[in-house]
Amino acid sequence: KTLIILISGRGSNMRALLEARLPVDRIIVISNNPAAEGLQTAATKGAQTICINHHAFSDRTTFDSALADEIDRYQPDLIALAGFMRILTDDFVFRYHRRLMNIHPSLLPAFPGLHTHKRVLDDGVKIHGCTVHFVTPKLDHGPIVIQAAVPVFPNDTEKTLADRVLKQEHRIYPQAVRWFLQGRIRLTENTVFIADTCV
Ligand code: GRF
């Protein structure tokens, strides 16, 4: 089996996936950002790394089609977005329908988009968390695979809250990807079911 991980920056979720000893034959890491710290980490962990600099493309469509051409060379079973900071075109999303996952730092459908920890603190929310979901054209709205909740404490800062959530991200993303690779995920239009045994 082949897993492709798309990153743009630090790559701590990618690292969690690389360290999870997933049932795959190969993992390929692709970054849109040549300076992504995660590229270095991936290389030291023995993963194949590829960079497709989005600045080299005139628009989203040409970048996405170059990205898809590269991805298709490997015929991946699953593509995992791990801090990939580019909005993908609908064409790209449809092309990888049912095999494109994302990790988002909030309990979706609450707080889609950016700066989730700050918005949670500003709104006085008491329970926060993270979500792994399949990607659909509507940003941060696809079928949910798994979520983890964490408390928000009165003295939390963005940093303390982000750290608490990130710990859970590193736990649930490998779990979701493992379920997928084991064939345990059944996806209807909007809902994900996890089977107890392999199907
Ligand atoms: C994570 O919080 C992830 O949920 C979000 O972007 C951040 C990426 O962090 N999509 P990292 O690059 O995995 O360390």
Alpha helical stretches, state H, the chain: 12-18, 37-44, 60-72, 90-95, 116-122, 158-181
Residue 80, CA distances (Å) to 76, 121, 127, 196 in order: 10, 28, 26, 23
- Residue-level pLDDT at 199: 42
C-alpha 113 to ligand 1 mean position (Å): 12
Our mutation pick for probing the ligand 1 site, out of 12, 150, 164, counting the most ligand atoms within 8 A of Cβ, is: 12
* Contact call for residues 106 and 120 (beta carbons, < 8 A): yes
The catalytic site residues sit at 104
User: What is the value of ipTM here, to two decimals?
Assistant: 0.98
Q: Name all domains of the chain by residue range, CATH numbers in brackets.
A: 2-186 (3.40.50.170)
- Residue-level pLDDT at 189: 81
What residues form the annotated binding site for (6R)-10-formyltetrahydrofolate?
A: 60, 85-88, 102
What residues form the annotated binding site?
A: 11-13, 60, 85-88, 102
The CA distance from 111 to 18, in Å, is 28
Place of tokens 């628009």: 59
pLDDT tens string, the chain, 199 residues long: the values are 999 999 999 999 999 999 999 999 999 999 999 999 999 999 999 999 999 999 999 999 999 999 999 999 999 999 999 999 999 999 999 999 999 999 999 999 999 999 999 999 999 999 999 999 999 999 999 999 999 999 999 999 999 999 999 999 999 999 999 999 999 999 988 899 998 754 4
- Residue-level pLDDT at 197: 55
* Contact call for residues 39 and 58 (beta carbons, < 8 A): no
